[in-house]
Amino acid sequence: MAFRRLLSFNHVGNNFCRKYCQGVASRDPSLYFFSSRVQELLFQLNDRQHDLVFKPRKLGQKLDAPQYVFMTDEDLDKERRRIEQCLREKLQVPPVLGPRKPIERVLAKDPRLEGLHDSKLVCIDISPDLSDRKRMITVREPDGTLRTANWHERGRINQIFLPVDGRTVTMPKMFEEPHLTECLDREEYVSVLDRACVQFEPDDPDYIRVTSATYDHVDAARLYERLQSTRHFGALAFYLAWHRRIDNLLLYFIQLEKLDQAVKLIHLYRLLRSAEPISDQTPPTRQESSQSDGFSSSSESGPESESSSSDSDSDSEGVQLDIIRDYIENASVKRPVLELALQNFQHLSAERRRVEREQRRADGRQ
Amino acid sequence: MLCRSTARLCLSAGAALCQSAARPSPSAGLRTSAVALAGPVGAEPPLELRPLNKDRSNPVPVETSIAYLQSAAYRATYGSEPVWRSYRRNHKGHIPPRKTRRTCIRGGQLSTGNPCPACRDEYLVLDYRNVALLRQFVSESTGEILDTSRTGLCQVKHRELLAAMTKAREYGTLAFDVPFRVYDYSEYKPSAA
């Protein structure tokens, strides 16, 4: 409770680490995260460059020489579909949950056992087919109380008896201050986040603290491309949309002229702002379907055709610009900067269209 | 670059090439000020060659070692290659012994004729903060810590290296890859209300 009060009075600014369930209405992000619409948006917001997604990890394994295989067209299609499936697996976003609640409860009190042992005894069910989160772990205190283990004890005992590769029994010092800040200042974001995913469970308060600090640092430094084509970009986008701080990322997309990504980000922001948790059964609202029309028309105008491409481009671009302008006017914090960026983009694209028209006219004359 | 026969002198005490500055002789009739004789402003002091120092009783602080790895003396001695690249073990026959010697330093002094790459240069301190040095002992392609058969380190220094690498991973000074964790979403989804 004291920590919560400190957070509300401390004006440090963007470098502040926030917990997901802080605020007037403490909502649970897991009610929104697992919806298929949110998941699809998080996947689409990623760059998905194959070279970066499938970059090999150096884990001390023996390297094999590359294989060159002759394939038929059918084999090639099958291989492409397999790669798409692998891409989805590699870009699986780590689950976003609220902080976990205590699960310690007393099972029995036996005061006659006091003095029998001078240390606690831990009992764990090591059946391999059980989930680590549901495994029975109990503790017999020296005073005879039999209770279930708390989350910290559960993590340690699970790691001792059923170790996970890459995880340590005690939390590495790199996740404590000042070492965490030093790692972030060296811009080793992916390394910190990958290790946090392996070390912690998604609802561990330490995991939430470490990931929040990393996302805050990335947002403050505007180094979004470090997380692009990794699984963490989706988690970053969710974090920013949840905390209603998408302006910097929106500016980044507009400056890179990725309007479809900007529109998807705004869509995600609106989905996460809705009061009702999204379930897959509720149909999309009219506003969402008009936005998704904006997506589909932009994706259809992807391959450039000859003469009418510029017109269809400008139509879908117009829809996207409307959506972005609507957000900037109603919901953004950094309104002047975003408006300026949007104006620059419009000037640039108008210039580009004019140059293209003159080029075509010149080619036609030739 | 100095010739190989004086290589041992080169590698001592962080010294490197001696630079022969072209000084005009007094009889040349030129009159220059001391400032001009010292060379262009902002130039590094000329590197000097020092005799071999076998004393290892005063360990060098790690901050000095970190600064040394960025210095002109280090660059002139090792160039851009790892510090173990130029080292060659001396042994009988064609096949080297499986293990390198136990230690090059006895009684606080270098006690061998061909000390290992970490012992011969007292300014190379294997510490978890000295990332530029630690990175030289990690394989580029697999991320493994290189074996003594490649690096030529004595056993004591190799154990110091392993300890430094473990601490570097603990404190996060050296970034390294971890296995990819696959989540089973069904374990984390909130139960339907």
The residue ranges of every structural domain in chain B are: 62-175
Is 80 exceeded by the pLDDT of residue A2? no
- Residue A290 vs residue A230, higher pLDDT: A230
CB pair distance less than 8 Å for B188 and A166: no
- pLDDT for A15: 45
Q: What is the pTM of this model?
A: 0.82
Interface membership of B183 toward A (CB under 8 Å): yes
Give the ipTM: 0.80
Residue B110, strand partner residues: B105
Taking the CA of residue A217 and the nearest CA in chain B, the distance in Å comes to: 17
Most confident of A5-19, A55-69, A77-91, A294-308: A77-91
- pLDDT for B37: 58
Is 50 exceeded by the pLDDT of residue A255? yes
Please give the average per-residue pLDDT across B2-26, as a whole number: 41
Taking alpha carbons only, the member of A45, A85, A9, A80 closest to residue A228 is A45
- Residue A11 vs residue A32, higher pLDDT: A32
- pLDDT for B30: 58
Chain B positions in Cβ-Cβ contact with residue A173 (cut-off 8 Å): 170-172
Band the pLDDT of A96: cuts 50, 70, 90: very high
Provide the angle, in degrees to the nearest 10, between the axes of the packed helices A232-242 and A205-221: 90
CB pair distance less than 8 Å for B183 and A95: yes
SS3 content of chain B, % helix, strand, coil (to 5): 35, 5, 60
Residue of B nearest to A39 (CA): B185
Is 60 exceeded by the pLDDT of residue A196? yes
CB pair distance less than 8 Å for B187 and A61: no
Measure the CA–CA gap between A41 and A193, rounded to whole angstroms: 21
Is 80 exceeded by the pLDDT of residue A29? yes
Residue A123, strand partner residues: A138
In degrees, to the nearest 5, what angle opens at C-alpha A314 toward C-alphas A310 and A317? Answer: 135
Which element (helix H / strand E) includes A122?
strand A121-124
Chain B positions in Cβ-Cβ contact with residue A95 (cut-off 8 Å): 183, 185, 188
How confident is the model over B154-186, as pLDDT tens digits? 999 999 999 999 999 999 999 999 999 999 999
Is 80 exceeded by the pLDDT of residue A284? no
Cα separation of the two ends of chain B: 77
Is 60 exceeded by the pLDDT of residue B113? yes
- Residue A299 vs residue B115, higher pLDDT: B115
Residue of B nearest to A29 (CA): B190
Is 70 exceeded by the pLDDT of residue A206? yes
Is 70 exceeded by the pLDDT of residue A8? no
Please give the average per-residue pLDDT across A211-222, as a whole number: 97
In a mutagenesis test of the A interface, which of B146, B169, B183 is the best target, namely the one with the most A β-carbons within 10 Å?
B183
For residue A39, give the 3-state DSSP assignment.
Answer: helix
Residue A306: Cβ-neighbour burial (10 angstroms; 0-12, 13-18, 19+): exposed
Query: Is residue A291 within 8 Å of A323, Cβ to Cβ?
Result: yes
Please give the average per-residue pLDDT across B77-101, as a whole number: 96
Please give the average per-residue pLDDT across A241-270, as a whole number: 94
CB pair distance less than 8 Å for B178 and A166: yes
Band the pLDDT of B34: cuts 50, 70, 90: low
Is 60 exceeded by the pLDDT of residue B109? yes
Residue of A nearest to B186 (CA): A34
* Strands B105-106 vs B109-110: parallel, antiparallel or unpaired: antiparallel
Residue A138, strand partner residues: A123, A148
Band the pLDDT of A278: cuts 50, 70, 90: low
- Residue A289 vs residue B75, higher pLDDT: B75
A33 Cβ partners below 8 Å, 6+ apart? A39, A95, A96, A97, A238
For residue B106, give the 3-state DSSP assignment.
Answer: strand
How confident is the model over A305-322, as pLDDT tens digits? 344 445 556 668 889 889
Residue B87 has φ and ψ, to the nearest 5°, of -85, 140
Is 80 exceeded by the pLDDT of residue A227? yes
| CA-to-CA separations, B86 to A331, B1, B65, B105, B117, in angstroms, rounded | 63, 14, 20, 20, 9
- pLDDT for B192: 58
Taking alpha carbons only, the member of A324, A322, A307, A315 closest to residue A361 is A307
Interface membership of B147 toward A (CB under 8 Å): no
- pLDDT for B43: 66
- Residue A3 vs residue B174, higher pLDDT: B174
Please give the average per-residue pLDDT across B112-139, as a whole number: 96
CB pair distance less than 8 Å for B144 and A60: yes
Please give the average per-residue pLDDT across A167-179, as a whole number: 96
Q: Is the dihedral of CA A252, A255, A259, A263 positive or negative?
A: positive
In a mutagenesis test of the B interface, which of A175, A194, A201, A232 is the best target, namely the one with the most B β-carbons within 10 Å?
A194
Band the pLDDT of A332: cuts 50, 70, 90: confident
CB pair distance less than 8 Å for B172 and A197: no
Please give the average per-residue pLDDT across B67-96, as a whole number: 95
CB pair distance less than 8 Å for B185 and A191: no
Residue of B nearest to A186 (CA): B173
Band the pLDDT of B42: cuts 50, 70, 90: low
Is 60 exceeded by the pLDDT of residue B137? yes
For residue A216, give the 3-state DSSP assignment.
Answer: helix
Please give the average per-residue pLDDT across A106-112, as a whole number: 94
> What percent of chain B is modeled with pLDDT above 70?
76
Q: What is the mean pLDDT of chain A?
A: 86
Token output for A81: 């579909």
Is 80 exceeded by the pLDDT of residue A141? yes
Band the pLDDT of B25: cuts 50, 70, 90: low
Query: Is residue A320 within 8 Å of A263, Cβ to Cβ?
Result: yes
Size of interface A-B (CB pairs under 8 A): 83
CB pair distance less than 8 Å for A61 and B142: yes
- pLDDT for B33: 58
Please give the average per-residue pLDDT across A290-304, as a whole number: 40
In one-letter notation, the amino acid at residue A295 is F
CB pair distance less than 8 Å for B180 and A34: no
- pLDDT for A21: 46
CB pair distance less than 8 Å for B142 and A58: yes
Chain A positions in Cβ-Cβ contact with residue B177 (cut-off 8 Å): 57-59, 191, 194
CB pair distance less than 8 Å for B172 and A180: yes
Interface membership of B142 toward A (CB under 8 Å): yes
Identify which of A95, A97, A198 has the shortest CB distance to residue B178. A198
CB pair distance less than 8 Å for A58 and B141: yes
- pLDDT for A26: 78
Taking the CA of residue A26 and the nearest CA in chain B, the distance in Å comes to: 16
Interface membership of B81 toward A (CB under 8 Å): no
- pLDDT for B184: 94
- pLDDT for A349: 92
A298 Cβ partners below 8 Å, 6+ apart? A259, A260, A263, A316, A317, A319, A320
Query: Is residue A264 within 8 Å of A272, Cβ to Cβ?
Result: no
Band the pLDDT of B96: cuts 50, 70, 90: very high
- Residue A112 vs residue A7, higher pLDDT: A112
DSSP A220-276: HHT-GGGTTTSTHHHHHHHHHHHTT--HHHHHHHHHTT-HHHHHHHHHHHHHHH-SS
Taking the CA of residue B186 and the nearest CA in chain A, the distance in Å comes to: 10
Please give the average per-residue pLDDT across B59-68, as a whole number: 97
Residue of B nearest to A100 (CA): B188
B20 Cβ partners below 8 Å, 6+ apart? none
DSSP B137-171: GB-TTT-PBPPHHHH---HHHHHHHHHHHHHHHHH
Interface membership of B141 toward A (CB under 8 Å): yes
Identify which of A30, A63, A166 has the shortest CB distance to residue B179. A166
Architecture of the CATH domain B62-175: Irregular (4.10)
